[in-house]
C-alpha cells in the first residue's frame, strides 16, 4: 500500500492544489504515444504540498496514460 505521508519528512498534512505553467495547469506528455488518437496527448496532473517541509508531489491520470501508450499498466491508486 502506498503511504499517504510525505516521503521526505513523514508529515501527515498534504494540501491539495495544482501547479500552473500553461493554460489548464501542468500536464504530462508521454514520450511514446500513439500518433492517431481521438484525444490530446497531454495528461492532466494533480499536485499536493506537504505543509511541514514544502515537498510538492505530482500525480497523473494513469487511465489516460494507458489509453495513449496502448499498454497495460500496473494497478495504481487514483489521483487524490
Domain encompassing residue 55: 14-31+38-69
43 in a structural domain: yes
Tell me the three state secondary structure of residue 71. Answer: coil
Given a contact cutoff of 8 angstroms between Cβ atoms, the answer to whether 14 and 7 are in contact is no
2, part of any domain = no
Is 3 part of a structural domain of the chain? no
Tens of pLDDT, residue by residue over 18-60, are 776 666 666 666 666 655 556 677 788 888 899 999 999 988 8
pLDDT computed for residue 68 by the predictor? 80
Per the domain annotation, does 76 fall within a domain? Answer: no
Q: What is the pLDDT of residue 32?
A: 63
Is 7 inside any structural domain? no
Please report whether residue 62 resides in a domain.
yes
CA 36 to each of CA 32, 40, 61: distance values in angstroms, whole numbers, following the listed order: 12, 10, 20
- The answer to whether residue 79 sits within a structural domain is no
Res 10: pLDDT: 94
Amino acid at each position: 500500500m502506498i503511504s499517504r505521508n510525505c516521503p521526505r519528512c513523514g508529515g501527515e498534512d498534504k494540501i491539495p492544489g495544482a501547479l500552473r505553467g500553461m493554460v489548464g495547469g501542468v500536464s504530462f506528455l508521454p514520450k511514446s504515444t500513439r500518433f492517431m488518437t481521438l484525444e490530446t496527448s497531454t495528461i492532466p496532473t494533480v499536485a499536493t504540498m506537504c505543509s511541514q517541509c514544502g515537498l510538492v508531489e505530482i500525480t497523473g491520470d494513469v487511465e489516460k496514460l494507458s489509453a495513449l501508450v496502448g499498454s497495460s499498466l500496473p494497478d495504481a491508486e487514483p489521483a487524490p
